[in-house]
Amino acid sequence: MTREHLDRLLEQALLADDHSSLARRLYDVALGYSSGDVSRASILVLAAEEWRAAGQPARALECFQRAVEDGGESLVDPRAGIADTLFELDRPEEAREVIETIRAEGGITTATSHTIAETLVAYGDLRSGLEWVTQAVLASDEDDPEHDALLRTRYRIRVDLGLPEDELDALVS
């Protein structure tokens, strides 16, 4: 499967507002997938995101777990999606355990850090979200595609916390 093929599938689903059908289709593709431009894990993560958009977090959780088991490359660690889905399923202790496991293992991409920060903020933990996004900003550079988005997220969290502007906030464009 190519990135272009996936983009067409996503575009069709968005236009039809039919996340369930796309999730099923992506999941079926992943199950029979052997190789291509995109890893099976990435396809499973996309299927999981579509299940969540369709209001089916339990099915999303299954897809995220399969992506972890697959072990293939993925832009965002599928465990970040697991944590977010566990929060959605009102299982915050398990979600925090997953996040702490990710932190303990290290080697976290900026995209994964950003996802975790946004998840923590969405579920009311602004301080932890700020910690995650600040670490990601400090680990990234201006060439990182996530850099500007990280700076904006960090700024937004700091404003929500009522914190004064600092030197990193001044970099927000």
89/20 Cα distance (integer angstroms):
18
Return the percent helix, strand and coil in the chain, to nearest 5: 70, 0, 30
Question: How far is 60 from 166, CA to CA, in rounded Å?
Answer: 38
Q: What is the token pair recorded at 168?
A: 């990193």
Is the CA virtual torsion 117, 118, 123, 125 positive or negative?
positive
- Encode burial over 89-119: b for 16+ CB neighbours within 10 A, e otherwise: eeeeeebbebbeebeeeeebbbbbbbbbbbb
pTM above 0.85, yes or no: yes
**pLDDT by residue, tens only, the chain of 173 residues:** 667 777 777 777 677 778 888 899 889 888 888 777 889 999 999 999 999 999 999 999 999 999 999 998 999 999 999 999 999 999 999 999 999 999 999 999 999 999 999 999 999 999 999 999 999 999 998 898 889 999 999 999 999 999 999 999 999 97
